[in-house]
Amino acid sequence: MRADRLVAALLLMQARGRVTAAEMARELEVSVATARRDLEALSAAGIPVYPRQGRGGGWSLVGGARTDLSGLSATETQALFLLIGPAASASGEVKAALRKLVGALPRTFRADASAAARATIVDPARWGGRDHPRPELVPLLQSAVVSRRKVRLGYVNNAGHRSTRLIDPWGLVDKDDIWYLVAGTDKGQRTFRVDRMLDAEVTEETAARPEDFTLTAAWNDVVTEVERRRSRTSATVLVETRFVPVLRDQFGTHCRAEDHDGERSRVTVAAPTPLDIARQLAGWGAMIEVVEPSDVRRELHRIGTELAGRYASGH
């Protein structure tokens, strides 16, 4: 797991002073390209890891060579735990390693390091759609979560309504490259898509957070509710087996292959309404056959009729 490698890379640099990407790859049993990406990720996150070009070059950790990592500053420690914390969410072994690492840090750094490790989780399951670049506001929001400071957001919801609100940031979730902020508001817990934020300002006001709050449990509740809303209507379709991965990419977790006869597969897809399903399937044309329900078939017929009427003249 990457979190293991990042910690091991730091410890290795502290023990040796300087290592090359090839040496790191050999020690960690990964490719040179993977080792180089890990080193670049540490450097980009603000941890004092720097390359030196030319003969005798390599990567080194500036600021001390003690294996307890106490050479890191408070800011660098937060950067490290923000980087490796999400990757540790699925591994008990890495969590144990992080606890040991926290214990080795100077006492004044420990609270912020622990908060940084819990500030973000990664949910790799797709909800369908295309990849999204990481929003520029993510680092600022992470810092607000760690420092427990209220944030003033400019936000536009899915209906296009713009608003400004003061929120208590509780944690960030990276769900397959779409980022969400779980936060407290005057109306209770809410979830905001980071790519819909127009701006964000970290204030000096202390943010409130429930004592029993855990980001993983809160996000599980969000996912359960979203999945319930997104799967109110299902349809059974027949499609060439080779196109099932494409359909699955389009519908995300709401696509389930039932069986196949070699050339064609029987697949169940789901969405909030029959119209939502029809809109997503319309672009497939005759490549997909909807077996049921009749509501989806009627919506497809209506869409097809509208398109045929509009483009019948060929202009």
**% of the chain at pLDDT higher than 90:** 32
- pLDDT tens column, 178-214: 889 999 999 999 999 999 999 999 999 999 989 888 8
Q: From CA 214, how far away is CA 118, in angstroms rounded?
A: 8
Q: What is the mean pLDDT of residues 68-86?
A: 60
Whether residue 239 is predicted with pLDDT greater than 80 in this model: the reply is yes
Q: Domain 138-213, CATH 2.30.30.520 — does that match? A: yes
**Confidence at residue 285, expressed as pLDDT on a 0 to 100 scale:** 92
Alpha helices in the chain (DSSP H): 2-16, 21-28, 32-44, 74-84, 92-104, 107-118, 138-147, 215-230, 244-251, 274-282, 294-311
**pLDDT digits over 28-67, tens only?**
788 888 888 888 877 776 777 778 776 667 888 765 444 4
pLDDT in tens, 139-171: 889 888 888 899 999 999 888 899 999 999 998
According to the model, what pLDDT value does residue 64 have? 47
Same fold, 2-118 and 138-213: no
Fold of 2-118: Arc Repressor Mutant, subunit A (1.10.10)
Q: Name 170's Cβ contacts closer than 8 Å, sequence gap at least 6.
A: 145, 182, 183, 184, 189, 207, 209, 213, 215, 218
For 249-315, the DSSP string reads: HHHGGGEEEEEE-SSEEEEEEEESSHHHHHHHHHTTGGGEEEEE-HHHHHHHHHHHHHHHHHHTT--
- pLDDT score at 66: 45
Handedness of CA 114, 115, 116, 120 (dihedral sign): positive
CA 78/CA 83 separation, integer angstroms: 9
Q: Which CATH fold would you assign to the domain 231-311?
A: Alpha-Beta Plaits (3.30.70)
What pLDDT is stored for residue 65 in this prediction? Answer: 40
> What is the dihedral angle through the alpha carbons of 70, 74, 76, 81, rounded to the nearest 10 degrees?
90
Q: Determine if the pTM surpasses 0.85.
A: no
Higher pLDDT, 255 or 107: 255
Give the residue extent of every domain in the chain. 2-118, 138-213, 231-311
